Amino acid sequence: MRKPICLSFLICFFTMFYSIASLAQPTPADSSSQQNAFNNAVSLFYSTIGNQSPLFNGPEYYYYDPLIKGNAYFLDVNAFTPGTIYYDGASYSGAPMLYDTYSDKVVVLLYNHFSKFSLVNSKVKSFDYLEHHFVNINQDTLAITSELKSGYYDQLYGGKTEVLVKRYKDIQTTNGSATNGSESYFNTKKEYYVRKNHAYYSVGGEGSMLDILKDHKKELQQYIKANKIKFRREPEEAMVKIASYYDQLTK
């Protein structure tokens, strides 16, 4: 196995300049000094890992039709932003990247500062991006009762009882009128899952999560009430707290 490539010292460079590095839909012109600073930071990253790195072996990536409103990217961030990718047995910190949640692709900026390519999904184990940790799950490796598909999932809680969110976008089209034609736009969606005993189950609300963890349902209900946990208001926070407490009960 190749040794991890630790480039975390570059993150400070990218953090300062990523907001001006958007190569997606047209944006206002950047100042030459800011662009030069960003280019220098990117050059430093690639001079460190080398142009022949295994990171550069995916297909070329193309942006979407600019007439589609919004964008396909996680948290609507369409600027290349530093992240850490565990890819093909090595860890790459500070890599300028995008996460396309429509096609479920991790996109990386090539060392020429212009070309873009998507990583081979099967080689991505996980990645950290915009303070979220995503894991790559292959449906074929799961228990037959699992209810999720292959892809990248935001891991909210990685304990014995894992909590995941599938964050994705689809394209919706409005009905046109006599005066206005139809319009297409990216629509954000998410689905929640809990892993118990090596199988993943879809969670639609507090009730369905408690049904999954029914062997300690009464204790969990008491915990939710005592701690004033509002599942409907903050489902992600609630799921993490419930799963964590369940793990304490089942030690």
Distance CA 220, CA 243 (A): 9
User: Where does the pLDDT of residue 146 fall: very low under 50, low under 70, confident under 90, or very high at 90 and above?
Assistant: confident
For the chain, domain boundaries: 1-130, 133-251
- Give the CA angle between residues 19, 24, 25 to the nearest 5°: 105
**Residue 191 forms beta bridges with which residues?**
166
pLDDT mean across residues, the chain? 83
User: Where does the pLDDT of residue 40 fall: very low under 50, low under 70, confident under 90, or very high at 90 and above?
Assistant: low
Selected residue with higher pLDDT from 24 and 234:
234
- Tell me: pLDDT of 7 over 60: no
Q: pLDDT, tens digit, for every residue of 68-90?
A: 999 999 999 999 988 899 998 88
Q: Which pLDDT does position 70 carry in this prediction?
A: 96
Which token pair is 91?
A: 């860890």
Burial call 122-136: b when 16+ CB within 10 Å, e when fewer: ebbebbebeebebbb
Q: Which pLDDT does position 15 carry in this prediction?
A: 40
Q: pLDDT, tens digit, for every residue of 94-127?
A: 888 999 999 999 999 877 667 899 999 999 999 9
Distance CA 166, CA 155 (A): 9
Amino acid making up residue 132? H
Q: Which pLDDT does position 147 carry in this prediction?
A: 87
Q: Which pLDDT does position 48 carry in this prediction?
A: 61
User: Where does the pLDDT of residue 52 fall: very low under 50, low under 70, confident under 90, or very high at 90 and above?
Assistant: low
Q: DSSP string spanning 40-76?
A: HHHHHHHHHH-TT-TTS-SPB--PPPTTSBS-SBGGG
Q: Which pLDDT does position 58 carry in this prediction?
A: 82
Distance CA 203, CA 209 (A): 6
Q: Which pLDDT does position 143 carry in this prediction?
A: 83
- Tell me: pLDDT of 166 over 90: yes
Q: Rg of the chain's alpha carbons, rounded to an integer?
A: 21
Q: Which pLDDT does position 39 carry in this prediction?
A: 59
Q: Which pLDDT does position 120 carry in this prediction?
A: 94
Residue pair 46/8 in contact (Cβ under 8 Å)? The answer is no
Selected residue with higher pLDDT from 178 and 112:
112
Lowest-confidence region among 118-127, 139-148, 152-161, 213-222: 139-148
Distance CA 239, CA 214 (A): 14
Residue pair 242/209 in contact (Cβ under 8 Å)? The answer is yes
Distance CA 211, CA 3 (A): 43
Tell me phi and psi for residue 60, to 5 degrees.
-65, 145
Q: Left if phi > 0, otherwise alpha if psi is -120 to 50, otherwise beta: which for 127?
A: beta
Distance CA 212, CA 65 (A): 42
pTM over cut 0.85: no
Amino acid making up residue 3? K
